[in-house]
Structure 1
Amino acid sequence: MPKAMLTQPFLALKASLRLVFRAFYLRRKATIAVVTLTLLWLFLSSCRRPPLIDPEFGLVRNTTSESKYAIATFLTGGNKKSLNAKDLDSNPYNIATRVLAYQLLHAEETRCNASVDFVVLVTPNVPKYTRDQLTADGAVVVEAKDIPLSWWVSTGVTRWKDQFLKLRLFEMTQYDRLLFVDADTLIRGKLDEIFNELEVQRPAQTLSHRVRRADEAPLPAQYMFAARSDNQFTGERRHPFPPLNTEVFSAGFWIAAPSQELFDYFLSILKHYRRFDPHTMEQSLLNYAFRRDGPMPWREMHYKWSATWPNSGDVEGHVVTLHEKFWKTGPQDLRKLWREQKGNMQRYFSKHGN
């Protein structure tokens, strides 16, 4: 075969390889450039100094004899966009909400001072019949407006989106202090006395020397937020009494000074990817916002006020609120107590035409 015929394919292959290597080289340079710019952006972002805390921004007053208080809970209609009049009649959370109303407003051994409102925050699909019934029971019924959520905020829990609506309670600044309790809570004493605790009466100063993020909304100069450690992390049902303190609080029981500044801060957290673990929804967000090593660490309330995973030690220790779905779980003696309260509620409201 002539030499020229051998040379042509070789030259073509050589030219093709040169193009391939050049393209690879250019792509590699582009990749390196992108990575370099990304690292530079992250470095510069981390170097951004967070804004100084305005000493006059978001101030919180000490409570006085004129202060206004509320105890609040939350009721969702579930996934359906609209419900018929009595669709929630047999819903266990609706029943539990009415048991709370009975215990906090009417039962002699647990009812609060008449000046303390019982607020039920409801989702838009809770029917008018249910709202009117709760109003007749004595509750202040408030519809929660939607809260925009980023795409990454999701979980496998059926009603996960609704749980973030609880943050709307922080906008209820007509109250000086607001105590939130989940509907699945059994009341065992005078809960409104919690408003007399020093941790509740006095606000805390936001710690300006603690690390805070520049890409989040400005922090208020003062805040008031307290909760109880979650017994899930100290043995669950077998937790000791008195219980141990943990780094994580239960979002089924907390007390705060409502604040528009705090609410805006929460919304800014929601904008940033995985700033908190969305699996436990608003509980993770609140634990991030009030993390112990952060600028607004949460205060630990005395263990007498609330217990998750309640056991006999909590009962003997006269804990005021026991958090459990007693209609289906929990110790048998406590389930019996809850059924008794449910029966008392039904008889009381039936007698009064509710």
Structure 2
Amino acid sequence: MLTSEGEQVDNYYMYTSAVVYRLLHKEETRIKRNDIDVIVMVTEDVADWKLRGLHNLGAIIKRVNKITLDIKNINERWRNCYTKLRMFGMTEYDTIIYLDADLYIKKNVDELFDLANDIRNTTGRNDFFGAVTDSPIKINYNNRERKGMLNAGIMILTPEIALYNDLIELAPKIELYDKRFMEQGLLSYYYSDTNNLFNRTRYHLDPRYNAQWLSDSVFNEYYDKVYIIHQKLGNTEHAKSKQVQKDIFNSIVEWMSFANNEKIDISYD
């Protein structure tokens, strides 16, 4: 999902483009199946030249209207996050894997579609929702089904109109959930590990698919094990790995080289 306003190049446009590049063109990470679309949800403020750039990479552009709520004292970076809820109504798809823009994809993740299908077949339920608990990789890896708030950076879901309507109805009722975490708080309430008020089940996705806070102190232990690392460039997060910062930087340079059809030589150091 891209909600960047204005004409300037911004981090999230670069993150999104690098993710699309790795999903569609990078040999070790690209999608191998022919029944998977790569979609970028974009809001009305995204500049046309950014849409053209993403389209030229092979992404399907899906325009959606923002979902905004009047919530005070929120992190400005998260103000458009409720717009993620739009995908829960995209019933033209059997399964959606949602990926935040600020992800570094290390390995192919086609198998996540099979996981959703296998669980549906095993449980006999038509719905499926999977996510990793919001916690550092070290804690999650050693406690694979740790209860608590989910992390909405990677989600696997079955779209459904009734589900979408539930979420849209519940979103303004900020007294029910932890509004500080926006849609993440809402989804953690809806897919609760403890009370199951809405007859929905939450599958605890293996933390290797959303490695959070992979700092230098645990880098050697987990780097080769994980499929996707959740981390931003710059100083917006405290616990981060210098090597992962370099990986993210280099993935952006690779996308730029591919998009411009010429090698761009920029060193992280």
Q: Distance in 2 between matches of 1:296 and 1:198?
A: 15
Letter in 1 for 2:150: F
8 Å contact from structure 2 (residues 134, 150) kept in 1: yes
Letter in 2 for 1:111: R
In the TM superposition, residue 105 of structure 1 has moved relative to its aligned partner by: 0.4
Q: Which residue of 26, 34, 37 corresponds with 1:107?
A: 26
Gaps of 5+ in 2: 263-269
Q: Distance in 1 between matches of 2:210 and 2:174?
A: 32
Residues 106-133 of structure 1 deviation map (CA, whole Å, 9 limit, x = unaligned): 0000000243111111121001111111
Name the counterpart of 2:267: none
Q: Which residue of 127, 134, 146 corresponds with 2:47?
A: 127
Structure 2 counterpart SS, 1:111: coil
In the TM superposition, residue 345 of structure 1 has moved relative to its aligned partner by: 1.2
Name the counterpart of 1:267: 168
Q: Distance in 1 between matches of 2:207 and 2:76?
A: 31
Q: Which residue of 58, 72, 80 corresponds with 1:138?
A: 58
TM-score, with structure 2 as normaliser: 0.84
Residues 187 and 179 of structure 1, relative CA distance in 2, 3 Å threshold = same
Residues 148-180 of structure 1 deviation map (CA, whole Å, 9 limit, x = unaligned): 64x5x4442214441111100111111100001
Name the counterpart of 2:232: 325
Matches of residues 233-272 of structure 1 in structure 2 within 5 Å?
236=136, 239=139, 241-244=141-144, 245-272=146-173
Residues 223 and 350 of structure 1, relative CA distance in 2, 3 Å threshold = same
Name the counterpart of 2:209: 305
Q: Distance in 2 between matches of 1:123 and 1:204?
A: 37
8 Å contact from structure 1 (residues 122, 144) kept in 2: yes
Name the counterpart of 1:187: 105
Letter in 2 for 1:77: S
Letter in 1 for 2:201: P
State the identity %: 24
Structure 2 counterpart SS, 1:281: helix
In the TM superposition, residue 204 of structure 1 has moved relative to its aligned partner by: 8.3
Name the counterpart of 2:127: 223
Q: Distance in 2 between matches of 1:276 and 1:303?
A: 24
8 Å contact from structure 1 (residues 199, 299) kept in 2: no
Structure 2 counterpart SS, 1:342: helix
Structure 2 counterpart SS, 1:266: helix
Name the counterpart of 2:222: 314
Structure 1 counterpart SS, 2:81: helix
Name the counterpart of 1:76: 3
8 Å contact from structure 2 (residues 153, 210) kept in 1: no
In the TM superposition, residue 334 of structure 1 has moved relative to its aligned partner by: 1.2
Name the counterpart of 1:342: 252
Name the counterpart of 2:186: 285
Q: Distance in 2 between matches of 1:326 and 1:237?
A: 18
Q: Distance in 2 between matches of 1:253 and 1:186?
A: 12
In the TM superposition, residue 280 of structure 1 has moved relative to its aligned partner by: 0.6
TM-score, with structure 1 as normaliser: 0.65
Q: Distance in 2 between matches of 1:160 and 1:305?
A: 22
Residues 304 and 161 of structure 1, relative CA distance in 2, 3 Å threshold = closer
Q: Distance in 2 between matches of 1:280 and 1:316?
A: 30
Q: Distance in 2 between matches of 1:228 and 1:88?
A: 33
8 Å contact from structure 1 (residues 88, 94) kept in 2: no
Structure 1 counterpart SS, 2:29: coil
Structure 2 counterpart SS, 1:284: helix
Gaps of 5+ in 1: 1-73, 207-220
